[in-house]
Amino acid sequence: MRIGILGAGQLGRMLTLDGMRLGHEFSLYDPAGKASAGVGTIYNDPDGQHLATFLNETDVVTYEFEHLPLDLVNRIATEKPVHPVPRALQCCQNRTLEKALFRDLGINTAPFEVVESAEALQAATQRLGGRVVAKSATDGYDGKGQAVLDTPEQAPQAWPRLGCDTAIAESFVPFRRELSIVAARGQDGEMAFYPLAENIHHQGILRFSIAPAPHVTPELEDQAQRMIRTLMNELGYVGVLALEMFETEEGLVANEMAPRVHNSGHWSQNGAVTSQFENHIRAVSGLPLGETAALQPTCMINLIGETGPVAEILRLPYTHLHLYGKAGRSGRKVGHINILADSLEELRWRAMNTASLLPECPEFDWRP
């Protein structure tokens, strides 16, 4: 099958690498003209001149990036099958729609209000009570997009920092840890769920994922699977979906979803029977889904800014290195390392040791 991917970054690269093993052919289309994937047939097309050619050589279209122009994706959907369904993209591009979808489906999420001015933010913060996180409804930029308010009086200073016309004000969730679930749904409605991952962020960027997350009770796993199953069924979803959640004393609170393969699922390349990338391609090409069970406790470490000492990393007998072929730049994801171990304690030591080799990597300060 000839598969077209909208977006051509590292996710497109890894989808292509896994999908080629299934005999598929890949074309990657980047409407922003910033392709870095380095595999498949690449269309860097900021002027839209090559869209017809790209579509001519694809049987099915998917995407690896949620900030695509929605009208472009809707137009493509009139000509070719697009998976996941464009409505998923639309919801993920706008927190107002996303939170409303969670609420309407009975998916537990932080109490929130939609606000369109500093005054409205102040009033919403007053009503929500306690600490509030304000987030721009659509993508923030240049460090804008989010602010934490301890009191309603902070609204006039916080509002301009969001850099938007519409925002969500939501209650701050006192979470124990951040978890995510990645799942796949096939064209026949078959579903497969990966074990939950525990995610550690630093300066707003995911640094470490540990999977399967330890101390996940069957009830917690069940709650996560119910939430993502509800979302996928409602949307008629085909492909891989990720849901980021907070774990609290009272169970899980959904934060946001991503309609694509997800950084917190990269561990599955080495740590699961079938990677999230292969399962996404299986789903969009109408094939049966692969087994999602974990092989061993796994830790994924993102390489941010630069690749670090590649030879030293590779010398460690337990590392699997994945580089994206991208130039180093501050804050940019340029690769990741998957580490496997026989036990969580061994995993902890291996991850600590690996992290200590990496420039600008925070200490791996985690205990099972």
Known binding-site positions for ATP: 95, 135, 140-146, 170-173, 178, 201, 255-256
Which helix or strand (DSSP H or E) is residue 314 part of? helix 310-315
Torsional sign, CA 88, 89, 90, 93: positive
- For 23: left if phi > 0, alpha if psi spans -120 to 50, otherwise beta; the answer is left
One of 172, 193, 220, 357 touching ligand AMP (CB under 6 A)? 172
Stretch of 38-46, 170-178, 272-280, 324-332 lying at the interface with ligand AMP (CB under 6 A): 170-178
Could you give the CA distance from residue 173 to residue 304 in angstroms, rounded to a whole number?
27
Stretch of 169-177, 213-221, 231-239, 328-336 lying at the interface with ligand AMP (CB under 6 A): 169-177
Q: Does 176 bind ligand AMP (CB under 6 A)?
A: no
Least spacing, CB of residue 21 vs ligand AMP, in Å: 32
DSSP conformation class of 263: G
Q: Does 201 bind ligand AMP (CB under 6 A)?
A: yes
Stretch of 12-20, 172-180, 282-290, 324-332 lying at the interface with ligand AMP (CB under 6 A): 172-180
Which helix or strand (DSSP H or E) is residue 348 part of? helix 344-357
Q: Does 110 bind ligand AMP (CB under 6 A)?
A: yes
* E-strand stretches of the chain: 2-6, 25-30, 41-44, 60-63, 112-115, 132-136, 146-149, 167-171, 177-185, 191-193, 197-202, 205-211, 239-248, 251-258, 298-304, 319-323, 333-340
Is 192 strand, coil or helix?
A: strand
What tokens appear for 104 in the block? 């309407």
Nearer to ligand AMP, 135 or 333 (CB): 135
**Burial bucket for residue 154 (CB in 10 Å: 0-12, 13-18, 19+):** middle
Nearer to ligand AMP, 207 or 350 (CB): 207
Q: Does 173 bind ligand AMP (CB under 6 A)?
A: yes
Stretch of 166-174, 180-188, 227-235, 268-276 lying at the interface with ligand AMP (CB under 6 A): 166-174
Stretch of 9-17, 60-68, 118-126, 168-176 lying at the interface with ligand AMP (CB under 6 A): 168-176
Least spacing, CB of residue 201 vs ligand AMP, in Å: 5
Binding residues: 95, 135, 140-146, 170-173, 178, 201, 255-256
Q: Does 255 bind ligand AMP (CB under 6 A)?
A: yes
Nearer to ligand AMP, 201 or 226 (CB): 201
User: Of 289-318, which residues contact ligand AMP (CB under 6 A)?
Assistant: none
Nearer to ligand AMP, 64 or 178 (CB): 178
Q: Does 256 bind ligand AMP (CB under 6 A)?
A: yes
Can you list the pairs that 222-227 forms with residues at least 24 positions away whose Cβ atoms lie under 8 Å? 223/251, 223/252, 224/179, 224/181, 224/193, 224/196, 224/252, 225/181, 225/183, 225/193, 227/107, 227/108, 227/181, 227/252, 227/254
User: Of 119-138, which residues contact ligand AMP (CB under 6 A)?
Assistant: 133, 135
Using the structure block, give the residue that is written with the tokens 């078959």: 190
Nearer to ligand AMP, 112 or 277 (CB): 112
Q: Does 178 bind ligand AMP (CB under 6 A)?
A: yes
What tokens appear for 288 in the block? 């049966």
8 Å CB contact between 298 and 210: yes
Nearer to ligand AMP, 201 or 315 (CB): 201
Distances (CA, A) of 272 to 211, 223, 269, 295: 9, 21, 6, 5
Chain residues that interact with ligand AMP, rule: CB under 6 A: 110, 133, 135, 170, 172-173, 178, 201, 244, 255-256
